[in-house]
Amino acid sequence: YHTDAVAIQEQALPKEKEESADTNPTKIVGKSNPFKSTLKANEIKLLTDCVNEANMFTTTVSAKILTDFFNCKLNGVLKVNNTRLLAYLMMQLSCYNYIVYEWQSVIANNKLILKKIKGEPLTRTDLSSATDQAKNIYPKGYEIIDKYIKQLQKG
């Protein structure tokens, strides 16, 4: 009698799904927008001028590169000159709701930007530290960003 009960219980247990090792991931359609960017084409153009004037990256960026950056669809990566200045810009964009508050995670998770010295992707910790530092001591070049953020707000 006792062994019958065990056999019945075993039958009642749900079987583990073997198809969890699915090799065909679900295709998500539509535009992914991790930054939840509300930036329009003319605003991206303004920001392009801003990051180039501030020498934010080791290369000059185009409006297309910046658009791809905010869509997390860069064909490559950007290399930052000054992480604190980048953090300051992103913090300002977040403050005015142009991008999500969690922008640090988006940059880190998508490995969008490399550190200048080691050439490794910026981590959330790197960006968090840079943001804290930028809040206490404005980074060199912050006035360039402030000028463009004011223009952005005017529309």
Instruction: Report the alpha-carbon distance of residue 44 to residue 78 in Å, rounded.
Output: 16
17 inside domain: no
Number of domains in the chain: 1
For residue 77, give the 3-state DSSP assignment: coil
What is the Cα–Cα distance from 35 to 63, expressed in whole angstroms?
Answer: 16
Whether the Cβ atoms of residue 79 and residue 94 lie closer than 8 Å to each other? no
Q: Is residue 100 part of a domain?
A: yes
In-domain check, residue 64: yes
12-60 pLDDT, tens digit each: 544 544 444 445 556 555 556 799 999 999 999 999 999 999 999 999 9
pLDDT of residue 154: 92
Q: Which candidate, 105, 143, 108, 106, places its Cα nearest to that of 122? A: 108
Residue 56 inside a domain? The answer is: yes
- The answer to whether residue 111 sits within a structural domain is yes
Question: What global pTM score does this model have?
Answer: 0.79
Instruction: Give the residue numbers spanning the domain of 73.
Output: 35-154
Instruction: For residue range 54-79, list pLDDT tens digits in order.
Output: 999 999 999 999 999 999 999 999 99
In this structure, is residue 24 part of a structural domain? Answer: no
Residue 58 lies in a domain: yes
Quote the DSSP letter at residue 19: G
